[in-house]
Amino acid sequence: MTVSKPVGRVPQRRNARSNRARILETARRELGRNPDITLEELARLAGVVRRTLFGHFPGRAALLEALAEEASEAIRDAAAAGVQPEEPAERALAYFALSMWPVGDRYRMLLALAQRYLGAERVAGLLKPARDEITAILERGQRDGVFHAHLPPAVLSAGLEAMTVALLEQVNIGALEDDGTRNAVATLIAAGVPEKQARAVVDDVAPTVTAEAATD
């Protein structure tokens, strides 16, 4: 006896996944422009009815939690991609900064909203993979004499993170244009690499990161 499959079930699931992805894409874009945008307006811009958005995300916190989960996965992937243990520490740091910049740019609205809606503990968990990776790179560079050592690696890492957040915000308000290379150079300089050397390292590493991103 052949059991027929429910007609329309697969297209409905596919349509639901498409709607969810479109809502998240719209939220990433619009929340970066206007953190106070209403969910009703997000639904309209995403091309779905209010009921569809609330079916996926019952409230603002649920929507931000979904974005946080998405960002966490992207950050973990970028942090893992930045691991280059066989290379000098300054190249590893440049690779890391360049790899992380698109992730930070894509989810920069979380930097403004996450503390308010998700809490400090959730934000810390979100950023932990990146923080651990950059701290390890800085520790290796200090040990090799490449980076200055007047600050502990974890403290220096926190300072570099704060600088990157500040630069992302400047991009957000239109005061700075950066494809990630300017931030990478600033990161190396702040870590103790002379400016001329920092620019040379970033110029050398950037094409590799760009090529790898194009194949993902």
Q: What is the CATH number of the domain that holds 190?
A: 1.10.357.10
Query: Angle 120-144/108-117 helices, nearest 10 degrees?
Result: 130
Query: Quick one: 75 and 134 in the same domain?
Result: yes
Domain final residue pick, 58, 75, 98: 58
State the total domains in the chain: 2
Q: Which domain holds residue 13?
A: 1-58
Question: Are 159 and 206 members of one domain?
Answer: yes
* Nearest alpha carbon to residue 110 among 135, 119, 20: 119
Q: What is the pLDDT along the chain (216 residues), one digit of tens a residue?
A: 555 555 555 565 778 889 999 999 999 888 877 888 999 999 999 999 999 999 999 999 899 888 888 888 888 887 776 666 678 999 999 999 998 898 887 777 676 677 778 788 887 887 888 888 899 999 999 999 999 999 999 999 999 999 998 998 898 788 999 999 999 999 999 999 999 999 999 999 999 888 877 676
Same domain for 69 and 22: no
* pLDDT for the residue numbered 69: 83
Within 10 angstroms of residue 142's Cβ, the number of other Cβ atoms is: 20
- In this structure, the answer to whether residues 77 and 45 fall within a common structural domain is no
Nearest to 67 by CA among 121, 108, 15: 108
Phi, psi angles (nearest 5°) of residue 150: -80, -5
Same domain, yes or no: 53 and 113? no
